[in-house]
Structures are given as structure tokens and as C-alpha cells.
Amino acid sequence: MNKLTKTETILVDQYFLKHNIRSFDYAMFRIAVANTLPSWRSEQLASDSVYTGNVPFAYIDYLENLVNDQKV
């Protein structure tokens, strides 16, 4: 299971704020990750969805932190 580190979460958060993203879904999350992190890391975070067809744990964890308003 891969999830975003504290620094990566901050970078993704800043991407959403900087680009004034008003809708949030898995596709926007993938775009933010791809545009802020190195390609090897974004592929690593998406790897479990590629093989299983499921939503990756990184996205679920990011949503849980966002909804619960927890500090990462």
C-alpha cells in the first residue's frame, strides 16, 4: 500500500489551491500527482489501481485526511 508522504500531501494541496481547482475526483487527483511529483512516484502511487482496477490507497487516504481535517 502506497500513500502520500507529508511533503507530497503538501505539494498536492498547494497544486489544488494554486490552480483554483473547484471539483475534486480521482482524475483531478491523478493530474495533481502527475504534475507535482516525479513520474516514477506517481506511477508507484497508481500501481495498485493499474493491476487490480481498484481505486489506489493513496487517493483513499488523501480523501480521508481531507474529510477528517487531520494534519498529516
* The residue to which cell 475526483 is assigned: 25
Structure confidence at residue 51 (pLDDT) = 61
Predicted pLDDT at 50: 56
Give pLDDT, residue 45. 86
| pLDDT at position 24 | 86
Residues 6+ positions from 40 with CB-CB distance below 8 Å: none
- Give me the pLDDT at residue 56, please: 83
For residue range 3-56, list pLDDT tens digits in order: 899 999 999 999 999 999 888 888 899 999 999 999 999 888 877 665 666 788
CA 12 to chain centre: 7
**Residue 68: predicted pLDDT:** 84
**What residue spans define the domains of the chain?**
6-68
